[in-house]
A = this chain, B = another copy of it.
Amino acid sequence: MLSIRNATASDTKLILDFIRKLAEYEREPNAVVATEEDLLRDGFGPEPKYRCLIAEWHNVPAGFAFYFFIYSTWLGRPGIYLEDLFVLPGMRGKGIGLGLLRRLAQIAVEENCYGMRWQVLDWNQTAIDFYHGLGATKMDGWDTMRLIEPALSRLARGESEE
């Protein structure tokens, strides 16, 4: 029996465990430096920076959806950005991922969102096929750029100016 609930401050250990397991699946097991303290501070303080759904199968945690709100200037409406979606390997095939996506879609509709957006690894054809089956489409024509340290601080200090 599937149930889906909003994560609370007492779920940070569970959330971090899901984050780590997803990173292993994405072949980046050492990429996770986040701590429980980070997740508690940023998700459950006065201005939460993310939200999280926990899926339980017969009351046992089985998966999670980690998301936050983005905004479309063209549409003048928010959107949901799904950062992580993960179901434990032993819990697959029960519709848990679909259940999480469905709940997110309901939240999107309730919150006046134009839709949902997320990234998928380009080699993960199983996931891509699943998303296409729901009516999702790939956004073509745009490249995603990222600026991180040390270039971020260099730019902040004005040292990138030629």
> Which residues of chain A have a CB within 8 Å of any CB of chain B?
19, 22-23, 28, 31-35, 38-39, 42, 49-50, 66, 68-78, 81, 83-84, 95, 98, 101-102, 105-106, 108-109, 113-123, 128, 131, 133-139, 141-156, 158, 160-162
Contact = CB atoms under 8 A, between A and B. Distances in A.
Contacts of A131: 145, 147
A83 B117 CA distance: 14
B83 A71 contact: yes
Contact of A136 (B122, B139, B146): B146
Contacts of A23: 74
A98 B161 contact: yes
Contacts of A152: 105, 108-109, 113, 115-116, 135
A65 B38 CA distance: 28
B42 A78 contact: yes
15 contacts: A19-B73, A34-B72, A38-B77, A70-B83, A102-B156, A108-B152, A114-B149, A115-B148, A116-B152, A119-B145, A121-B143, A123-B141, A137-B146, A138-B146, A139-B146
A155 B119 CA distance: 18
A38 B155 CA distance: 32
Contacts of A81: 70
A116 B68 contact: no
B136 A151 contact: yes
A152 B115 CA distance: 6
